[in-house]
């Protein structure tokens, strides 16, 4: 009879240790800082999205300088209202959404009549992740 009690106690002890280890991992994960920060821009419906260097690397973020009035189609995000947007680089690792007017798309290129200046740097890869960060999705 005494032997059975030991076999019952051993699994209970292992379960308790496993549960405490899980709690430790969870609390460690929660204490890590976010790979981005969002700061509303007063008087507008957009926000500054600032990534950590690690965050930008993890999403594979890429940028390009606007070439005249064309931008890569991958840089354009269409919202639920049908409005077109691109993310421009405000400063290193800081991005802001800017509304654009796309006249047409052709072979992976968006022809923009209203939008960022010809010398502006825009995000071409990682747009969906910036949208998710800005809107908390």
DSSP secondary structure string for all residues of 20-55:
HHHHHHHHHHHHSPPSEEEEE-TTSS-EEEEE-HHH
pLDDT value of residue 3: 54
The enclosing domain of 127 has a CATH number of 2.40.420.20
Instruction: Please check whether residue 51 is in contact with residue 93, taking contact to mean a CB–CB distance below 8 angstroms.
Output: yes
| Same domain as 105, residue 75 | yes
pLDDT of residue 85: 98
Confidence (pTM): 0.75
Same-domain pairing of 27 and 14: yes
Is 61 found in the same domain as 15? Answer: no
| Shared domain check, 88 and 25 | no
Identify whether residues 20 and 51 lie together within a single domain.
no
pLDDT for the residue 26:
38
Within 8 A by CB and 6+ apart from 17, the residues are none
The torsion angles phi and psi of 4, rounded to 5 degrees, stand at -60, -40
Pair 26, 84 in one domain? no
Is residue 24 scored above 50 in pLDDT? Answer: no
Find how far residue 7's CA is from the centre of its chain: 49
Render pLDDT for 48-73 as a digit per residue (tens, 0 to 9).
999 999 999 999 999 999 988 999 99
Residue 21 above 90 pLDDT?
no
* 107 lies in the same domain as 77: yes
How many domains does the chain divide into? 2
Question: What is the distance between the alpha carbons of residues 15 and 133, in angstroms, rounded to a whole number?
Answer: 37
The burial class, CB within 10 Å (0-12 / 13-18 / 19+), for 47 is middle
Do both 79 and 105 map to the same domain? yes
The domain in which residue 108 lies consists of: 36-135
Q: Are residues 17 and 43 in the same domain?
A: no
Kindly report which listed range (11-20, 43-52, 77-86, 107-116) carries the lowest average pLDDT score: 11-20
Confidence at 1, pLDDT banded by 50, 70, 90? low
Q: Which two tokens stand for residue 82?
A: 């049908």
């Amino acid at each position: 009879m005494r032997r059975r009690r030991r076999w019952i106690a051993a699994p209970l002890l292992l379960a308790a240790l496993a549960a405490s280890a899980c709690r430790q991992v969870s609390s460690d994960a929660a204490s890590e800082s976010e790979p981005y920060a969002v700061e509303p821009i007063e008087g507008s419906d957009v926000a500054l999205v600032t990534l950590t260097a690690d965050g930008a690397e993890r999403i594979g973020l890429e940028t390009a300088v606007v070439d005249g009035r064309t931008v890569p189609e991958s840089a354009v995000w269409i919202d639920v209202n049908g409005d077109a947007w691109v993310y421009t680089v405000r400063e290193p690792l800081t991005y802001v959404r800017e509304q654009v007017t796309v006249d047409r798309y052709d072979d992976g290129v968006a022809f923009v009549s209203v939008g960022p200046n010809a010398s502006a740097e825009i995000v071409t890869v990682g747009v969906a992740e910036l949208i998710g960060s800005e809107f908390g999705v």
